[in-house]
Chain A
């Protein structure tokens, strides 16, 4: 469903990502783990079709970024730390705007927005400017934006960072529900506990390269460590 095939990105002679390959199947949550500067954002941007790889191919729901980035974007809900909301629009206006950009039919869009407002418990702030919302409220609205057009694949980059426990848990449950609906979800996080409990598989990324790819027990076993955190540190230490 989401597939990276030998993705490489060079900026002025520096490789931000090198030959990155992995796959996320339907109904699967895959965690993309790596320290700051590992190249996660570059890989996610290439998968989202907003950054052209120097080589390799990104595919989502059968649509290749090189030949049909447009269809790829329609099949994807994308959320990173860099994807913010319009400060002077309300969450409801933001959702309406992105629904229209996704060419959603007006009636369907209206009912979908109401459903998301209810399910993300945004009733109290859905009509307030996003600039006046708390971090948790903003993130709920942002995740709702990514879910809006009901795409078969989701890429969520650190959606729970800087959130309180209640909102964090709420979002993790929402992600589980989407998995239950058969969606392919690529989930990037610094919170390894979240990855351990949520992800079916994890991909360890360091200095732009994939260090490991497997289920959490497999990755732990291969590193000889006891926990995912130790495995993570051990693999990064080996690579360094």
Chain B
């Protein structure tokens, strides 16, 4: 893939899109109009309506022998009797419904014919679906309850008791929320839904125009006649759709911020919101993976259509799915939980709601963003596959078999590695939930074995077998050269210092300290594992399983791009992401960079396995032997360890080239399928 060609395609698509008024309207104008309307126009309308109703007398119908004093009490509180009947009509409810439905009456007071005695029934009929009738019923009920209290007091006095004895309990209701917070709660539950739907609309129109639209206009074929690869076309178009979707996201956030800001200065409605620059940034980061996912899905589905109209009919169900996912976040009682954080798009809407109400947590936020990125990666792979199917691009036929069950031809590639990581994220996150529920603290050893084997080693093994890549190549199962071996040994001796140095920086954060304490309780000397088991299960097992997965399959696949940076940074990021806790993610990613560099340069899994084992094993030892902790964490020892690591990496640099050459491998790394 040539970045410059991708850039040209991206720029052209963006220019064209910005010249399309329809897309521009959906992307930029609509968000700028919707929020001010929602916050001001709708708010103002509701407020005006309420004031109007409060100032208007209630139109009351009085049917049957309703006590006269009760009627008088009602009439004193802004009410007029518009219909008075001495007896109750035969079809009471039907007539009441008609009177209220015709809007000639707001409420109907009814006392059944012949009702007398110490307790006279008075029914107040109203239609709660009508704003005026509902408000007037509240008013009349309040008056009647007050009047009942007065009557009770009169009876107590008549019985020679003080009037106050009519109120044995003085009950008053107090709502802790103020009107501003109540309004904020309602609007805050709707906003994420609206933002997501507007975002999807922006992706919808951009993707449709760049795929089905181009096919209909014949320009997609024109593009294919140029010397460009399908993957460059999809990359350029994808970036353009993502850009337009992100522009829509920005427009949404800016408009939202401005609308809330204006209301905060003029009204109390915005007081329940938290919408500073930090929340704005967090919202944008939350919307980013949603934009990536929506763009990839819309492009993949859009290109299946032959015409713009056909594309609309294909994409509409997808848009409806987005609406359903977003609606889930508006349901009462639905909160962001570890499980809901895995549900695509609903998780984004829920996280936005948490962010706006200031209740978001780092853990769930990270889970939402990681899982959303994973879904987005799968969407990108799907889009790339569709674009590589020439029948789809040229004729509009849909050879599903070719798209979904095409046999892998190129072994491990950067694209299918991206898909593998995305798949792994989903497997790990969904797999962790039942594991956490099923396993007690005492069974932590079993949980580690199950997760290391089931989440990392087995999927990596299956992936290599599925792509028919020799295990020796997929997992870089070869010994380093003599120089590389020396580097490997030094890395094992000093590499742990990287982990300690990063840990020392992170320990300044309270969250990292808390996480460290939790790990200490679980894996330390008070935990269920013996020292030997802790070193074996937390040191050796991950060193083998995680290295096989990340420095094996993932790094090897990414290395096929020919870019060392992509291979090392990509595999480190993937490795880091699977550590879930944000602080652990940062530490693991840093370690992953060193492990990845060592594996890439030596073309061997061994340096990573040894360093990983010593690093994790030492952590277990330090948890149980705090007396030596000070020594290992001292500035001098860590410094020496880091120097040894640098020396080790220098020795490892380029050491694998000879091994690769001897094995007849390409400089991009061994990843081809088995030649049957």
Contacts and interface: CB of A to CB of B under 8 A. Distances in A.
B4 to A, nearest CB: 8
B390 interface: yes
Contacts of B391: 11
B416 to A, nearest CB: 21
A98 to B, nearest CB: 6
A98 B390 contact: no
A83 interface: yes
Interface of A is mostly: loop
Contacts of B226: 73, 98, 101-102
A210 interface: no
Nearest to B2: A103
A42 to B, nearest CB: 10
Nearest to A78: B225
Interface in A154-188: none
Most buried by B among A48, A74, A88: A88
Interface in A132-151: 145
B221 A89 contact: no
A51 B16 contact: no
A83 B468 CA distance: 39
A87 B217 contact: yes
Given A51-B390, A101-B8, A84 B227 contact: no
A26 interface: no
A88 B225 contact: no
A238 B12 CA distance: 50
Contact of A85 (B12, B15, B219, B225): B219
Contacts of A85: 219, 222
A50 B16 contact: no
A82 to B, nearest CB: 5
Interface in A89-148: 89, 93, 97-98, 100-103, 129, 145
Contact of A101 (B217, B228, B390): B228
B221 A86 contact: no
Interface of B is mostly: helix
Contact of A89 (B12, B224, B227, B395): B12
A80 interface: yes
Contacts of B428: none
B538 to A, nearest CB: 50
B667 interface: no
A100 to B, nearest CB: 5
Contacts of A100: 5, 8
A101 B219 contact: no
A52 interface: yes
B20 A50 contact: no
Interface in A29-43: none
A89 B47 CA distance: 49
Contacts of B228: 101
Given A70-B227, A97-B12, A102-B227, A88 B20 contact: yes
A86 B218 CA distance: 9
A190 interface: no
Nearest to A76: B225
A23 interface: no
Interface string B220-241: 0111111111000000000000
7 contacts: A11-B391, A11-B395, A50-B394, A82-B218, A84-B219, A88-B16, A89-B16
Interface of A: 11, 45, 48, 50-52, 70-71, 73-74, 76, 78, 80-89, 93, 97-98, 100-103, 129, 145
Given A52-B390, A71-B227, A84-B217, 16 more contacts: A48-B225, A50-B394, A51-B394, A73-B227, A81-B218, A83-B218, A84-B218, A85-B222, A86-B16, A86-B217, A87-B217, A97-B12, A98-B226, A100-B8, A102-B226, A103-B5
